[in-house]
Chain A
């Protein structure tokens, strides 16, 4: 059905995840991310409730392994699912239920994890992992590069429909949160959306956050910046 990657940026500490699937609006169901806390990414027969429940365990200070074990105990459909839990430290615990269709599997890397099912082959997962590791730059760009690499190899054997990317920075202020709900080429479209729109808020994310917190408009803020720069 799906492949996805979750990661913690070693330099900034930001948590991010990207997912693609032959399932409309996949981004609405998974992943769940909270800045400085961790990520829950469920797929297969997605159980979106696992995200918020798991996040409360991570907030209590439980590790990825503890959280995964507790979530599995509470999920009667665990064998139908794939589930990644990434904790505060960037450590991942992953479970691939036996009832997911082949090719299925997961990879746990250093501060990242990849999972997938109904794949054309497990090479998709290797490509996603390797590309993420070998790409430089902000976490969202590394995630997108990894997703594109998986897409190039084949991705979901049933086809493609939706994709999403999320990176959390400040609680309550979405940093990167783009979705493609229905498209013949969702991953490529996701990449285009990011590339074309990142200048709007992502490039001056913290100015925007400060402006919102201070109760002033970002436009004024931007204008004054431009004025200073002589633009």
Chain B
């Protein structure tokens, strides 16, 4: 006969009879006293007063007293007769004592289970739930020493062991039980609590277990012998079986009596509830994680969408209010925080934002594979600058051709790849805006050209004056005309039209930079520009501004000749300035050097230009003819000595240095020149005539 130790909780919940039994133990000097119930030919302990010294082998010297068919009192005493006699006397109320003991034990089990399930398991939300539940059940239920928690897998339609106490995981994890298979399967299908205390019934219950599962179950079992009693109950939620808990008793006399079954019957709903709660918590956690991912994704998408919409709205407003390319660029920069520059097709920067000196295009940019590909497919490309920085090249497309490039200097670590779409969209807007501006400029140029032709032909009328006013050409302002001849070698790959366009754009940009109002157009292969200044301006200030403008023009990166006419007051005098400018160009051609010629700073040249050539030749001949003849006849170079002397304004030292001669030699040559030409170089009049003749000689021979 064996018994299972009652746990501490049971010991603490003793009833009054416990004291009585203790009194008996003391009074009759009992070594051991326990109450047993016999069920299905097996006995199990209901109550024990002191099991400390009671061993299995002691049962042989224990005395037994049958109270009824089902109840037995077991005790060990030196004088058992006295106690047996006492029990006989008490026989009529002993069954009540047993019922009380049973009720007390039932209460203890219930109390333990409810307390541990409620206190311990209710807060378990990790993977230890299953193991903890099994441990609580095994600790609380007499006879139970091992157990399995099986969960139903809807995909495989099988019960798989989720956790096991007293079983080896290596084997039990391979067990897959069908809903019709064995005790667990039957419990699952019938949704009923099943108890097997009888070996025959147990064998029958296990009969349907598949050979594989049977083998695995035997291999998994860590207990010394197969189970003698099995209790299994379903985990049900909302009418659906989610799993099965199987408890086993492996001791010889293991038994799950009716009272335990009743307790488990009441407990199993609570266990199901706890399991449902555990599952809900896990599902909630999973849902929470999913929601976090969804939130992040939504946030990212929303942020980008909002940025796109914001930029769209800003750009729409800017275009509607005709704010121009600079404002569009600023909006793009503020939205992407990426340094950007908009270049025209000649790579002249139109506008920049967020850039510094380091943000320049690489050399031979247009020859790079990326730039060429970008022009060909009219799509963005990335050009690697160094290991961390890239140049995003977005072609700005006009009417079926690339009219510029929006370039962004991006850092691979910090750039938001989605911002590329914003820049790409903005480049389309830039294209439209540029085309609009180009159309306006072309119309202006055309109109300006027409007006200019009318001015040249002195054809002034009201309509023309009104059109001029519309073009911001005020009738009473100061005007000067600039004529520009451009070379055709701006770039070997660029044709004449391209060169002319480049030159015009450069000129317009220079005028914008210097805040000079004006219009640029074509006329007979040249570029012609009106530069206008308000009528109230100081002429000296205008002159200074034009000087600075000339300096800027000198920076033009190719061969041009620029003639700038005189400053004229009034729109109708533009013609004169235009003629001056043309004369300047002729002078530049004659001089074969220099880039820019301002009429106002041209000195005597423009007087000579208008003089009769024969007369000029005669003047030179009159004043220098004899010297020229002498030089030819004697193979001398006195004319050169004279010119150096004139250029150095009669300074002897400078002249001798320039000619690398001794001053006596110079005195001698001057004396010879005076003699040949019959002049005195000390005479102002002779000096003036020779200086003039020298100037004309230069003018004629340049």
Contacts and interface: CB of A to CB of B under 8 A. Distances in A.
Interface of A: 61-63, 65-66, 69-70, 72-73, 76, 79, 87-89, 98-99, 206-207, 210, 214-216, 220-221, 224-225, 227-228
B166 to A, nearest CB: 20
Nearest to B185: A228
Interface in B269-313: 293-294, 296-297, 300-301, 304
Nearest to B304: A65
Contacts of B181: 228
Contact of A224 (B160, B210, B304, B377): B210
Closest 3 interchain pairs by CB?
Answer: A206-B155, A69-B417, A214-B174
Contacts of A88: 293, 297
B418 interface: yes
A98 B377 contact: yes
B553 interface: no
Contacts of A70: 417
A226 B377 CA distance: 63
A73 B212 contact: no
A210 B212 CA distance: 15
Interface of B: 153, 155-156, 158, 160, 173-174, 176, 178, 180-181, 210-213, 293-294, 296-297, 300-301, 304, 377-379, 381-382, 417-418, 420-421
9 contacts: A61-B297, A65-B304, A87-B297, A89-B294, A98-B379, A206-B153, A216-B174, A228-B180, A228-B181
B156 A73 contact: no
Given A206-B155, A206-B156, A220-B212, 17 more contacts: A62-B300, A65-B304, A69-B421, A72-B417, A73-B417, A76-B381, A76-B382, A87-B297, A98-B377, A98-B378, A98-B379, A210-B176, A214-B173, A214-B174, A221-B176, A224-B212, A224-B213
Contacts of B420: 69, 72-73
A79 B379 contact: yes
Contacts of B174: 214-216
Nearest to B290: A88
Task: Name B's interface SS.
Answer: mixed
A210 B382 contact: no
Contacts of A228: 178, 180-181, 210
B210 A63 contact: no
Contacts of B173: 214
Most buried by A among B158, B296, B297, B379: B297
A20 to B, nearest CB: 27
A210 B210 CA distance: 17
A69 B420 CA distance: 8
Contacts, number: 66
A63 B176 CA distance: 39
Nearest to B296: A61
A99 B381 CA distance: 14
Given A99-B377, A220-B212, A224-B210, A73 B300 contact: no
A207 B296 CA distance: 36
A167 B212 CA distance: 32
B377 A63 contact: no
A70 B420 CA distance: 10
Most buried by A among B181, B210, B213: B210
B293 A61 contact: yes
A85 B38 CA distance: 72
Nearest to B179: A228
B160 to A, nearest CB: 7
A65 B176 contact: no
B280 to A, nearest CB: 20
B56 to A, nearest CB: 40
A229 to B, nearest CB: 9
Most buried by A among B153, B176, B181, B381: B176
Nearest to A71: B417
Contacts of A62: 300
Contacts of B176: 210, 214, 221
A228 B180 CA distance: 8
A216 to B, nearest CB: 6
A213 to B, nearest CB: 9
Contact of B156 (A69, A79, A210): A210
Nearest to A205: B155
A76 B300 CA distance: 25
B379 A63 contact: no
B417 A66 contact: yes
A210 B213 CA distance: 14
Most buried by A among B156, B213, B379: B156
A10 to B, nearest CB: 15
A207 B211 CA distance: 18
A89 B300 CA distance: 14
Nearest to B378: A98
Nearest to A216: B174
Contacts of B155: 206
Nearest to A73: B417
A142 to B, nearest CB: 20
A139 to B, nearest CB: 15
A101 B446 CA distance: 42
Contacts of A216: 174, 212
A65 B377 CA distance: 23
Nearest to B294: A89
A214 B171 CA distance: 9
Contacts of A221: 176, 212
A165 to B, nearest CB: 21
A88 B300 CA distance: 14
A73 B421 CA distance: 11
Contact of B382 (A73, A206, A225): A73
Contacts of B294: 89
B391 to A, nearest CB: 13
Nearest to A210: B156
Contacts of B418: 65-66, 69
A206 B420 CA distance: 44
A87 B257 CA distance: 57
Nearest to A57: B417
A206 B157 CA distance: 10
A88 B294 CA distance: 9
B156 A207 contact: yes
A89 B173 CA distance: 33
A225 B180 CA distance: 11
A216 B181 CA distance: 19
A61 B156 CA distance: 30
Given A70-B417, A215-B174, A63 B301 contact: yes
Contacts of B296: 61
Most buried by B among A62, A73, A88, A225: A73
A207 B153 CA distance: 10
A89 B290 CA distance: 10
B417 A210 contact: no
Contacts of A69: 417-418, 420-421
Contacts of B212: 216, 220-221, 224
